[in-house]
């Protein structure tokens, strides 16, 4: 063990010395010896169906169990071959021909075919499936019309199996990020016969995703799922690139309590934490060769407004709440200077795009807007509740904003935490007035942030609906001839979005994890992307780091 790591344990373990001294092999020591990664995953997954789930914790597990036509390099974020070993793109950028790897197999040994992909995209787009990410496939010709039931014939959608190993995809317009979409779980192929053995094509939450039932095509297979305890996966014997996979398995822990997660890391029960408590970050940050890994992150932390729920159905109220927040103070005093203030949904500089900034910290204007909305100095304020998924960090932010709104606007805001699945249901059903939200880019392009707010979009849980915005994002931007023209359309659309303010941006993320020194080839990247096929554990890390 390095002197630095010994120092960390000596500094931080005072509250858990009895646990640490009880003897026995720790998860980390045993994991290093057996090739099992112990991974803090944030929360219990809502499910493991690629066409149902929506969260980051689910993504980590689903992406270990399934693979799309492409995968993503964790070093460059560039697309790499997945189920498709190669592809060609037509001169006009609208037709992609994918050649499937003949060694790409399901975990039951069957070859993954082009027809499997066609069936899976039919399922992903079918309105009865309720796939909130169905819009990821809308660049495909006819996909949006099928998802919205403007046509009921899937033959009208531009995806065809030319033969078992050749897939042809026709797009509406050239889409520079299309290959990036194909490593998102919502576009993953699933095994038709397995799903149909447990229900209909578009049934949700059936037993096909349980251990012993699931058939996937990823680098790992599902071994065990103990609710609220762990999800275990083991290396697949049928994965086409299994020689690259060095881990024998991964155990995902639902570490919703980040204080407990950090303690587990301190006593070598975790190789990796999903988060780090805010009050512990200065201690780790000050250490030389610290296990704290921080990196820029393509994501925005924000609050959603239910634009049909009083009093936030009034745009002036929404604007007043946004302008009364001192983001610099929040980041300095509560967030340990880890993040940067956000005033739009799109992180600045995303592929060179710079979003507008229409407001700042302006308490005087905020009070005037609130008065114009009918609540001078907070008089007559009916009260409103902010909901957030259980997390100490989310609670601290909510408490800080609650106090700012009290101090600047003289209004009372209540805050309420909800367990992950309950919270997701509240968002999906719009059973809230204000809700914490975060959005991490699924691909590196401003479109990924802006197309969320298309009318009826699967992740537009605000009530915002603006035909002109839809026109700019869904039709004009894809048809732009130059990047400059495309970004100008994005700028105008985002200006419209922030004028109506169905969301309240707070800060731009950075990723913050604790990583044990034995973990190898798990690089930081802008999307905090995890590709477990490359990760390995060095059992001799102590010898090589002395």
In sequence order, the 6+-apart residues with CB closer than 8 A to the CB of 440 are 56, 297, 298, 299, 509, 527, 528
* Residue written as token pair 């992950």: 420
Number of H helices, E strands in the chain: 20, 18
Domains contained in the chain, CATH given: 3-45+219-273+515-545 (3.40.190.10), 67-199 (3.90.76.10), 298-510 (3.10.105.10)
Q: Which residues are registered as beta bridge partners of 520?
A: 536
pLDDT at 12 over 70: no
**Given pLDDT bands bounded at 50, 70 and 90, which one contains residue 8?**
very low
User: What's the average model confidence in pLDDT over 246-269?
Assistant: 97
Cβ-in-10-Å burial (0-12, 13-18, 19+) of 335 comes to buried
Give the model's pLDDT for residue 23.
Answer: 55
Q: How many CA atoms lie within 13 A of 171 on its CB side?
A: 23
**What's the rounded Cα separation, in Å, for the pair 395 and 70?**
38
How does pLDDT run across 194-215, given as a tens digit for each residue?
999 999 999 999 999 999 999 9
Give the model's pLDDT for residue 21.
Answer: 39
What's the angle, vertex CA 304, arms to CA 303 and CA 307, rounded to 5? 140
| CB-CB contact of 68 with 216 (8 Å) | no
In sequence order, the 6+-apart residues with CB closer than 8 A to the CB of 405 are 321, 324, 411, 413
Q: Alpha helix locations (H) across 160-309?
A: 178-181, 192-196, 258-266, 281-285
Task: Mean pLDDT check: name the lowest of 15-24, 50-59, 154-163, 365-374.
Answer: 15-24
pLDDT at 545 over 50: no
pLDDT at 185 over 90: yes
Six token digits for residue 447: 């479109």
Residue 496: strand, helix, or coil:
helix
How does pLDDT run across 456-512, given as a tens digit for each residue?
988 999 999 999 999 999 999 999 989 999 999 999 999 999 999 999 999 999 999
Give the model's pLDDT for residue 24.
Answer: 83
**Given pLDDT bands bounded at 50, 70 and 90, which one contains residue 289?**
confident
**What's the rounded Cα separation, in Å, for the pair 270 and 188?**
29
**DSSP secondary structure code for residue 390 in this structure:** S
| CB-CB contact of 307 with 430 (8 Å) | no
What is the b/e burial string over 44-56, where b = at least 16 CB atoms within 10 angstroms of the residue's CB? bbbbbbbbbbbbb
pLDDT at 373 over 70: yes
**What's the rounded Cα separation, in Å, for the pair 233 and 230?**
10
What single string gives the DSSP state of each residue in 10-78?
A: HHH-GGGHHHHTS-S--HHHHHHHHTEEEEE-SS--S---TTT--SHHHHHHHHHH---SEEE-TTT--
**DSSP secondary structure code for residue 335 in this structure:** S
pLDDT over 90 percentage in the chain: 91
pLDDT at 543 over 70: no
| CB-CB contact of 484 with 435 (8 Å) | no
**What's the rounded Cα separation, in Å, for the pair 214 and 431?**
33
User: What's the average model confidence in pLDDT over 56-79?
Assistant: 96
Average pLDDT, the chain: 93
Six token digits for residue 21: 């001294």
Give the model's pLDDT for residue 371.
Answer: 98
**What's the rounded Cα separation, in Å, for the pair 195 and 207?**
9
Which position has the higher pLDDT, 545 or 343?
A: 343
pTM over 0.85? The answer is yes
Six token digits for residue 450: 């802006």
Helix pair angle (392-409, 363-372), 10° resolution = 70
Closest by CA to 477, choosing from 139, 78, 181, 136, is 139
Six token digits for residue 183: 């490593």
Give the model's pLDDT for residue 445.
Answer: 93
In order of 36, 65, 174, 459, the CA distances from 453 in angstroms are 40, 30, 21, 7
Task: Mean pLDDT check: name the lowest of 112-121, 368-377, 478-487, 513-522.
Answer: 478-487
| CB-CB contact of 405 with 413 (8 Å) | yes
Give the model's pLDDT for residue 361.
Answer: 98
Tell me the pairing of strands 434-440 and 292-305. antiparallel
Six token digits for residue 316: 């002036």
**What's the rounded Cα separation, in Å, for the pair 98 and 230?**
36
């Amino acid at each position: 063990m390095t002197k630095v790591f010994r120092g960390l344990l000596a500094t931080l373990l005072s509250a858990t010395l009895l646990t640490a001294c009880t003897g026995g092999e720790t998860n980390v020591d045993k994991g290093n010896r057996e090739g099992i990664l112990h991974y803090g995953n944030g929360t219990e997954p809502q499910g493991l169906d690629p066409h149902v789930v929506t969260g980051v914790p689910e993504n980590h597990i689903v992406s270990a169990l399934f693979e799309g036509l492409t995968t993503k390099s964790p070093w460059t974020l560039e697309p790499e071959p997945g189920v498709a070993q190669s592809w060609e793109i037509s001169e006009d950028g609208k037709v992609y021909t994918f050649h499937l790897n003949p060694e790409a197999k399901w975990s039951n040994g069957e070859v993954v075919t082009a027809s499997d992909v066609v069936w899976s995209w039919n399922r992903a787009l079918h309105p009865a499936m309720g796939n909130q990410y169905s819009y990821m496939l809308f660049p495909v010709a006819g996909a949006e019309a099928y998802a919205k039931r403007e046509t009921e014939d899937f033959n009208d959608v531009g995806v065809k199996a030319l033969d078992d190993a050749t897939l042809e995809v026709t797009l509406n317009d050239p889409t520079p990020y299309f290959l990036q979409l194909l490593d998102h779980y919502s576009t993953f192929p699933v095994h038709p016969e397995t799903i149909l053995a447990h229900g209909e094509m578009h049934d949700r939450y059936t037993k096909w995703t349980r251990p012993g039932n699931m058939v996937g095509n990823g680098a790992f297979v599902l071994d065990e799922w103990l609710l609220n305890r762990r999800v275990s996966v083991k290396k697949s014997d049928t994965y086409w690139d299994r020689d690259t996979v060095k881990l024998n398995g991964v155990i995902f822990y639902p570490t919703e309590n980040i204080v407990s997660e950090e303690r587990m890391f301190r006593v070598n029960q975790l190789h990796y934490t999903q988060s780090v408590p805010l009050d512990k970050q200065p201690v780790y940050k000050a250490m030389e060769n610290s296990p704290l890994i921080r990196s820029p992150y393509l994501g925005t932390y924000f609050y959603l407004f239910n634009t049909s729920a009083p009093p936030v159905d009034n745009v002036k109220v929404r604007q007043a709440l946004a302008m009364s927040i001192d983001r610099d103070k929040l980041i300095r005093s509560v967030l340990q200077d880890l993040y940067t203030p956000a005033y739009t949904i799109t992180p600045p500089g995303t592929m060179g795009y710079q979003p507008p900034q229409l407001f700042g910290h302006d308490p005087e204007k905020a009070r005037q807007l609130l008065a114009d909305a009918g609540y001078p100095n907070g008089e007559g304020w009916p009260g409103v509740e902010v909901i957030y998924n259980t997390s100490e960090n989310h609670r601290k932010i909510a408490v800080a904003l609650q106090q700012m709104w009290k101090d600047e606007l003289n209004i009372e805001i209540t805050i309420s935490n909800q367990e992950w699945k309950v919270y997701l249901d509240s968002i999906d059903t719009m059973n809230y007035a204000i809700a914490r939200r975060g959005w991490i880019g699924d691909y590196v392009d401003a479109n990924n942030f802006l197309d969320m707010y298309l009318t009826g979009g699967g992740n537009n849980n605000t009530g915002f609906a603006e035909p002109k915005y839809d026109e700019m994002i869904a039709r004009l931007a894809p048809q732009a001839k130059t990047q400059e023209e495309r970004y100008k359309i994005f700028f105008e659309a985002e200006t419209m979005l922030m004028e109506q303010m169905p969301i309240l941006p707070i800060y731009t993320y950075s990723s913050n994890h604790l990583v044990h020194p034995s973990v190898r080839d798990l690089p930081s990247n802008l999307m905090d992307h995890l590709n477990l096929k490359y990760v390995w554990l060095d059992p001799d890390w102590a010898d090589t780091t002395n």
